[in-house]
Structure 1
Amino acid sequence: MRPYRALAVLVSTALGFTSAAFDCKKAQAAGFEFDLSPLARDVYLVHNQTTHPTMTSTKYAINPCAPLKAEPDSVPKIDRCPENAWVCRSVTNYKEDKPRVTEVNAVAGISKSDQPTLQATASGSEKPKEFLWKMTGVPVDSDKWATEIKFICNKSAKNDDLPKLVAFKDGLLELEWSVPAACALGDSDDDNGKGKAPKDDDKDKNKNKDGGGKSNESSGGFFSTVFTLLASGFILYFVLGVMYRYLVVRASGLDLIPNRSFWREFPYLCADFAQHIWETVSGRRRGGYSVV
């Protein structure tokens, strides 16, 4: 089964069948754009509670832009946050200064394909003052864990400020994060007009500047589409040819290349064709018989 699996991965990768990664620098909500890249780091919130004769410490690891970094090898594998987790909750119980991890789960993010969603409410062209960052995590018992971060636009704060833990109930972790990065882009006083999609009159101006840019875009898109189709067809031909020769013909090594003799002669054919064109264009090629 390994040849089939490897070839399937090769085909999906070559043809671009992969999910687009979450772009924290150009996050979108309600038609507005947000740059959350200043928050692209692992942050930690710790809540301690005395449970005599022990002490229970609950730690939340959060990264709103990407999965959390892998924990060091010094941490036992069973006590580490799950791979691909964006938000992780771990509970450690201390008795006589002896720690024992009792719970580790992903509150956001399960697989590589998981992506957060942003939700905001805006009236007209007025920028939203806050938006929700939402992402599901692992299901535990009858609860499906998830994380909701309420981002609040606060230009007087610092992007280094930590989020505030609001609640964790029935598997739902609620946080508030008041930072300048939560302010929508688009105002001339903060980012020179970047972020918000251009209005209709702005689009007309752009068309006038490039002499009717829509036709330029369509022509560029046509050639790009043709090139993509040709490249995808060639890759598909090559991969299927290798599969056929490996699984049916039982070939190996260079014999796996489909139509190997043709591709071996291909450079010489190209050279002959180029020479023929050059002789025709330069006038060196004449009709009639040649002396032998």
Structure 2
Amino acid sequence: MRFSRAAHFYIQAAALLALTRHASAQDDGFDCRFSYGDLQYDLTPLAGEHRIMRERKSPPTTMRDVVKFNLCADLDIEDGTDARDQCPAGTRACLITINEKDDEDDRTVAVIPLATSSSAAVHVQRRAVADGEFALAPKGIILTFQGPTYPDSSDDSWAQTFNLRLTCSTESSGLTFSDYDGSDMWAEWSAPSGCGFGAAPPDSGSDKPNDDAEEGDGSSGSHMGSGLGYFFLLLLLAFVAYFGLGAYYNYSTYGATGLDLIPHRDFWREVPYMFKDVVSHLCSAVRPRHTNRGGYIAV
């Protein structure tokens, strides 16, 4: 079958449209569900638009930095607000700087897209060490959302990032604006979603429980073995202390030397013979007795 040039054009356009839709379907944006290491994370309880801010005094004005963000979806475009005073579509985190002065209207002096919705622009790392400290930090993760450069039309532009330190906690609290240096914006948040769940199952044949699991039957054997080891260790230390203190007493009191230093030497000299008698008695007790034909028991 032969096609006209117009038909070929429409076929190519349809194929290009299909490829574009397929490519966009490959990255529908970060959806707040992911795995990291041996844990699964679901941040959907933290979904929705949140706002945090800080104020910087610069008399006679005050600079107020407001950060709007939504971890799980793009920020909504606000109707009735000038497009120049809000971030474009496809933004996950937006910083707006407002200049305030008494008796004058507030002025928006900067609108900075901090993060995009692409899942490829989101990076996760585990909180390992507290900033500037050697002590271990609380359990949790750090989310880094990458954004475009700002300003995009200047030679002196900086790549923007929105960084969230998400700490494991029993309840949500402490959402704060931590810092912004013109490129990296940092926020702090404590929430149960930062704990993770569903650790990978242990290898087959291994009874080692998860770190967060309650102690059960699988740990009783290890505790029993540990207790038995401590018992023998204490017994050995008691013997060492007994012989050491006894030898010192015999030396300091009687001036004993050599084998005479052994405390209760006569008793320990008889121990091998007592052990031999015990073994002999046990052997005779378990040895089967044979009877003769007359019914007498051999003595």
Length-normalised TM-score, structure 2: 0.54
Matches within 5 A, 1:44-83: 44-71=51-78, 73-83=79-89
Deviation at 1:143, TM superposition (A): 2.0
Deviation at 1:120, TM superposition (A): 1.6
1:150 to 160, 165, 179: 165
Give 2:146's aligned residue.
136
Q: CA RMSD in A?
A: 2.9
Give 1:9's aligned residue.
17
- CA contact 1:93–1:99 (8 Å) conserved in 2: yes
Determine whether 1:183 maps to 2:195: yes
Determine whether 1:196 maps to 2:210: no
Give 2:110's aligned residue.
103
Deviation at 1:107, TM superposition (A): 1.0
- CA contact 1:29–1:131 (8 Å) conserved in 2: no
Length-normalised TM-score, structure 1: 0.55
Change (3 A) 1:15 1:154: closer
**1:124-175 Cα shifts (integer Å, max 9, x gaps):** xxxx8111101111212342111211111011x32xx352222111410111
Give 1:23's aligned residue.
31
Give 2:94's aligned residue.
88
Matches within 5 A, 1:202-221: none
- The size of the alignment, in residue pairs, is 183
**1:232-277 Cα shifts (integer Å, max 9, x gaps):** xxxxxxxxxxxxxxxxxxxxxxxxxxxxxxxxxxxxxxxxxxxxxx
Paired with 2:48 and 2:24, the residues of 1 have a C-alpha distance of 28
3-state DSSP of counterpart to 1:68:
coil
Question: Who wins on radius of gyration, i.e. which is larger?
Answer: 2
Deviation at 1:9, TM superposition (A): 1.7
Deviation at 1:42, TM superposition (A): 0.7
Change (3 A) 1:162 1:67: farther
Deviation at 1:5, TM superposition (A): 4.7
Paired with 1:57 and 1:169, the residues of 2 have a C-alpha distance of 15
3-state DSSP of counterpart to 1:145:
strand
3-state DSSP of counterpart to 2:188:
strand
- CA contact 2:57–2:63 (8 Å) conserved in 1: yes
